[in-house]
Amino acid sequence: NLCLCVDFTCSSSHFDIVESFIVMFDKYLEGCPCLSTLIAGFVIFAVIVYHLFSTTAVAKRQKRQKVVARKAIKYVHENAEAGNPDHVLATIDQFCDDDTNFMMNVGPEKGRIVDKAFAEAKPKIALELGAYCGYSAVRLGRLLKPGQGRFISLEIDPEYAEFARGIVKLAGVDDRVEVVLGSSHEIIPQLKDRFGIDHLDFVFIDHWKDLYIRDLKLIESNNLLRPGSVVVADNILHPGAPEFKARMLESLYYKSVIHPTHLEYSKKKDEVLVAEFLGY
């Protein structure tokens, strides 16, 4: 019954850790079944407590991020010059200069790396995974000439999607940027039929880090990349996407470059990955 409880309470990775501990204790404490059971029970309990505290911490952090995002949207609409995307971006950056107003935007330092990759790719069709409040959609959308490019930004959170649409409209790039509400897992397979997209010239990945590999595989399996397509991923070092980084650097189908930089509005080290798809 205890093991069944853990299976439903813990994430799969936590349950794998518990399993490995039990196997280890069974091996080395073969002659002491009571001690082995006691230690295994303690490990299970510790993992459950860790999982519960982690889940609570994440929920609190997400709640704080929403509060800051609401303040930011109000501040930007009150202070930014409508129709001027550079001023909108500068106003957001100004809001984030206050240490208490941390936001998950790509920010100006990493933004310049992404800008360069975007400009060099000269995309007609671009996809962003994770609109958040619309900062990167405005940043990259402003580089597209009206009527000559299309930028689709996916966002799973309804409130963030609404924030992003408002910022995109305020910046005056809503004629080329579309914020789409929904799960990347559901929308990526619909890009061809629902949105009439044959391929993607540029993909900016900046949503949940544990979904980087899953969603890139989904893009690949739906044949949305062509030779020359560019994939850019943020936060490779912090909070980190080590498995994605390893996959991209080891792949024969991508030419990947890691750009050392800093976390948005911070001195913490971070990395941006820029990769060119070479084809199969």
**Helices and strands: H and E segment counts in the chain:** 11, 7
Distances (CA, A) of 232 to 61, 110, 126: 26, 11, 11
Q: Would you call 105 a catalytic residue per the annotation? A: no
Phi, psi of 277 (to 5 degrees): -75, 125
Candidates 155, 215, 264, 270; catalytic one? 264
Q: Would you call 223 a catalytic residue per the annotation? A: no
Candidates 105, 110, 155, 209; catalytic one? 209
Confirm if 175 and 146 have CB atoms less than 8 A apart. yes
Candidates 206, 215, 270, 271; catalytic one? 206
Is the Cα torsion angle 21, 27, 29, 30 positive or negative in sign?
A: positive
Q: Would you call 178 a catalytic residue per the annotation? A: no
Q: Would you call 128 a catalytic residue per the annotation? A: no
Q: CA angle at residue 262 from 261 to 265, to 5 degrees? A: 140
Tokens linked to 197: 């997209």
Candidates 128, 234, 270, 271; catalytic one? 234
Candidates 155, 235, 245, 271; catalytic one? 235
Going by C-alpha positions, the residue among 160, 221, 151 that lies closest to residue 185 is: 221
Q: Would you call 209 a catalytic residue per the annotation? A: yes
Q: Active-site positions?
A: 206, 209, 234-235, 264
